[in-house]
Amino acid sequence: MKGFIKNVSFLIALSLMAIAFLSSSVAAQEVILRAGDRVNLTVPQREALDRTLTIDQQGQVTLPIVGKIAIGGMTVDEAQNVLLRALRNIYPSVRSISINLLGEESRRTIYVQGEVVDPGRYGFEKNPTVWEAIREAGGTTATAALDVVRVIRAEGEYQRTFLVNLKEAIETGKIDELPILQPGDAVIVSQSTAIHAGTGSVKVIGAVAAPGPYQLSGSKTLLDAILASGGYSPNANLKQVVVIRTMPDGAQLTLTFNFKRYLDEGDIRHNPLILSDDTVHVPAETTGLAVFKDPRFWLAVMTAYAAVYAILQ
């Protein structure tokens, strides 16, 4: 049962992290224009300007009279705004334009992040598997957690996160059975973490799946600390997460963060860097129902009942 709760809590934490990740970066689901792409330009007020433009190796397209305009590396919407401004400088009567990427269906862009050699955006001729996407990014680093590779997928207005056990697929030789990715998917390879009782560890306590000290190397945040402990519990009060830090003079500094605001709104002020020897406390939510689960409450009820019964006899 404990293992089940840990897994559920971990999945909830990862799903909410996925929402923060995708809501903070719209470009992760948008096609970025690059050299060789062809776009169809439509100018309602000057049909003579309608044409197909090809982005050259410098990321530029050529418009009549206007000249070369750089749109490589932009989204379609961004490029449309740039071209409209350029055209209006020469043709004031132009009030609107539209551009469409030709052959967009052949673009299969996958985003690979985390513990890989070369994180970034990669294009494929056909939909790749999780392993093929990671291999295109140079493979994993030595500290990668291969048993919990995350895939984040946009589905309409929502996002879905599912886990892939790449370690098991490699060990059993079932690489070909790994899930097929869809255009726009993001593959996140997390860093492997383990309980570490030595100095320099970060202690995570309270309403988390697996409280304990964890070794977090490099620049890690509150999110990393919570994920290292298996994610927060369903009853966690994320609005008042406390970080306790020992200062050089021995004094203790207590900082409170609204971690829920970071998850919901992407407010990075509430996802601070965590230092070695910090203690992270995720408190449990206090509700009216919680008192009924406390044995002391029922002991008090029985004591009061006995007292009243004695008086009435």
Query: 40-69: per-residue pLDDT in tens?
Result: 898 888 888 888 899 999 999 998 888 999
Q: Do domains 107-189 and 202-288 have the same CATH topology?
A: yes
E-state strands within the chain: 38-42, 51-54, 60-63, 67-70, 98-101, 108-114, 120-124, 149-155, 158-164, 186-189, 202-206, 212-214, 220-221, 241-246, 252-257, 273-274, 279-282
Band of residue 280 on the pLDDT scale cut at 50, 70, 90: very high
Residue 214's pLDDT is what? Answer: 84
| Mean pLDDT along residues 144-169 | 78
Minimum mean pLDDT range among 98-102, 185-189, 270-274: 98-102
Residue 23's pLDDT is what? Answer: 38
Domain boundaries, the chain: 38-105, 107-189, 202-288
| Mean pLDDT along residues 299-310 | 64
E-state strands within 192-233: 202-206, 212-214, 220-221
CATH code assigned to 38-105: 3.30.1950.10
Fold of 202-288: Outer membrane lipoprotein wza fold like (3.10.560)
Residue 26's pLDDT is what? Answer: 35
- The whole model's pTM is what? 0.39
CATH code assigned to 107-189: 3.10.560.10
Neighbours of 116 (CB within 10 A): 21
| Mean pLDDT along residues 295-300 | 59
Residue 229's pLDDT is what? Answer: 78
Band of residue 241 on the pLDDT scale cut at 50, 70, 90: very high
